[in-house]
C-alpha cells in the first residue's frame, strides 16, 4: 500500500478530482499524487490500493447481482443516453418540486451532493422522494466519500439498492472546508467507494454479514478530461479495476476537452482492451460571467456555442450519451431551459 502522508484527504488512489493542475484543491501546495501516479508502472499489483476492511470482505462475495434494467442503460449501448442534473438550487417549495418532476422526461435524473461543499438536499433522500413521486426517468444520486465514514456509506448504498435506483455516481467529493469550516471526513476514496458499492450490491455488508439482494444499480464514476491524459488514464483504470461500469465527465466547455476524452478512451483501450461507456456533461447556458469561475475550478472554456459542442460530442465514436446541467434562478426558468435544450440534444443524438 502506498501512503501519501501529505494528502489532506488521505487518499490511497489519488489524485482526487479536485487537483488544479498540480496544485492541491485544499491548500494550493503541490499535489503529491499527480506526479506519483504518472510515474507508477501499470503492474497488476499497482492498479488499485484497496481499503483493508474491504479486502477482508471480498471472500464473502458469492456472485454479482443482476443490474437493474433501465432506459438509461439500454440507450448507453445505442450511444444516446440522456441525463439531466436535478436543479437543487431552484427548488424552494413543494410546488417547485412537482413542477420540475412533471416536466422531466430524460432517461436519468442525476442528484448532486452538496456541490463545492455547500450543504443541500441529501441525494439519497431526494432520489427516494423522486422515485416515490412517480418520476418518469430513472435516478442516479451522487454518493461522495466526503463527510461519511465507511458504515454510513454502506447504508446509503444499501438504500440505493433496496429502493431500486437505476445508478449511483461515486466520487471522493469536494473538501468541505472550501465553503465553510466543517470538520472533514475522508475514510474512503473514489475507487474504494466503488469497491464498497460492488460488495454491498453483491449482498455483503460491513463488518461482514450477508443480505439477500435482487438486482442492483449501475456503478458510475467521474472522469476529468482536464487532467493530463497519462494521469487520467491511470486514474480511470484504478476505478475500472475497482468496479466502475460507466464514466460521467466533468463539465466540458471547449472543443479541445472533447478531443481529450477521445485520447483518454484510446489510452484506456490500449492498456486494458476494454471499451468504457462515457457520458459527456455539458453546461447550458454558458454565460461569459461564468468563465472565470469555471476556470478557477480547472475547467477550461472555449468560444464554441452549445450547439457546436454538442456536434463535437456526437462526433466522438465512443460517446454513450449526454448529461445536461442547466443554470437557472427559478423553477420556471429551469423548465424553459430544459424544453429548449432537450430538443437540441434529441435532434443531434436521436
Binding footprint of ligand SF4 on the chain (CB under 6 A): 7-9, 11, 14-16, 18-19, 24-26, 31-33
- For the CB of residue 9, give the shortest distance to ligand SF4 in the complex, in Å: 4
Cell of 126: 431526494
The angle that helices 229-242 and 32-39 make with each other, rounded to 10 degrees, is: 80
CA torsion angle 234 237 238 244 (round to 10): 150
- For the CB of residue 198, give the shortest distance to ligand SF4 in the complex, in Å: 23
Q: Number of helices and strands (H, E) in the chain?
A: 12, 10
Strand 209-210 relative to strand 204-205, pairing: antiparallel
Closer CB to ligand SF4, 75 or 172, in the complex: 172
- For the CB of residue 118, give the shortest distance to ligand SF4 in the complex, in Å: 18
Closer CB to ligand SF4, 216 or 234, in the complex: 234
**Cα–Cα distance measured from residue 212 to residue 149, given in angstroms and rounded to the nearest whole number:** 23
Closer CB to ligand SF4, 46 or 61, in the complex: 46
**Do residues 285 and 305 lie in contact, with contact meaning Cβ atoms separated by under 8 Å?**
no
Closer CB to ligand SF4, 16 or 137, in the complex: 16
Residue where the block lists cell 447504508 = 155
- For the CB of residue 24, give the shortest distance to ligand SF4 in the complex, in Å: 3
SS3 323: strand
Cell of 159: 438504500
Closer CB to ligand SF4, 103 or 184, in the complex: 184
- For the CB of residue 4, give the shortest distance to ligand SF4 in the complex, in Å: 7
Instruction: Label residue 21 left, alpha or beta by phi (over 0 means left) and psi (-120 to 50 means alpha).
Output: left
- For the CB of residue 276, give the shortest distance to ligand SF4 in the complex, in Å: 22
**Cα–Cα distance measured from residue 139 to residue 141, given in angstroms and rounded to the nearest whole number:** 6
Closer CB to ligand SF4, 13 or 257, in the complex: 13
Give the DSSP per-residue string, 116-139. Answer: GG-----HHHHHHHHHHTT-SSEE
**Cα–Cα distance measured from residue 257 to residue 161, given in angstroms and rounded to the nearest whole number:** 34
- For the CB of residue 83, give the shortest distance to ligand SF4 in the complex, in Å: 26
Closer CB to ligand SF4, 15 or 191, in the complex: 15
Amino acid at each position: 500500500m502506498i501512503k501519501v502522508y501529505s494528502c489532506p484527504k488521505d487518499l490511497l488512489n489519488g489524485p482526487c478530482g479536485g487537483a488544479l493542475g498540480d496544485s492541491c484543491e485544499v491548500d494550493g501546495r503541490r499535489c503529491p499524487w499527480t506526479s506519483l501516479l504518472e510515474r507508477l508502472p501499470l503492474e497488476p499489483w499497482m492498479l488499485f490500493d484497496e481499503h483493508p476492511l474491504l479486502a477482508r470482505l471480498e471472500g464473502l462475495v458469492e456472485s454479482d447481482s443482476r443490474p437493474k434494467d433501465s432506459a438509461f442503460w439500454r440507450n448507453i449501448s445505442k450511444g444516446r443516453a440522456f441525463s439531466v442534473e436535478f436543479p437543487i438550487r431552484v427548488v424552494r417549495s413543494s410546488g417547485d418540486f412537482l413542477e420540475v418532476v412533471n416536466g422531466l422526461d430524460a432517461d436519468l435524473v442525476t442528484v448532486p451532493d452538496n456541490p463545492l461543499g455547500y450543504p443541500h438536499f441529501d441525494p439519497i433522500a431526494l432520489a427516494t422522494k423522486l422515485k416515490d413521486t412517480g418520476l418518469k426517468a430513472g435516478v442516479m444520486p451522487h454518493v461522495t466519500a466526503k463527510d461519511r465514514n465507511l458504515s454510513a456509506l454502506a447504508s446509503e448504498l444499501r438504500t440505493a439498492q433496496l429502493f431500486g435506483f437505476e445508478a449511483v455516481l461515486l466520487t471522493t467529493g469536494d473538501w468541505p472546508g472550501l465553503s465553510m469550516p466543517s470538520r472533514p471526513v475522508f475514510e474512503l476514496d473514489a475507487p474504494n467507494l466503488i469497491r464498497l458499492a460492488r460488495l454491498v450490491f453483491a449482498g455483503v455488508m460491513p463488518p461482514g454479514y450477508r443480505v439477500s439482494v435482487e438486482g442492483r444499480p449501475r456503478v458510475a464514476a467521474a472522469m476529468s478530461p482536464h487532467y493530463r491524459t497519462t494521469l487520467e488514464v491511470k486514474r480511470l483504470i484504478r476505478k475500472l479495476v475497482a468496479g466502475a461500469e460507466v464514466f460521467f465527465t466533468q463539465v466540458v466547455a471547449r472543443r479541445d476537452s472533447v478531443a481529450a476524452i477521445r485520447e483518454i478512451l484510446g489510452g484506456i483501450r490500449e492498456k486494458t482492451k476494454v471499451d468504457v461507456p462515457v457520458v459527456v456533461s455539458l453546461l447550458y447556458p454558458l454565460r461569459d460571467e461564468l468563465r472565470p469561475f469555471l476556470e478557477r475550478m480547472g475547467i477550461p472554456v472555449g468560444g464554441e456555442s452549445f450547439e457546436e459542442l454538442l456536434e463535437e460530442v456526437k462526433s466522438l465514436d465512443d460517446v454513450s450519451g449526454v448529461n445536461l446541467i442547466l443554470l437557472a434562478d427559478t423553477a420556471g426558468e429551469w423548465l424553459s431551459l430544459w424544453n429548449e435544450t432537450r430538443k437540441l440534444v434529441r435532434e443531434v443524438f436521436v
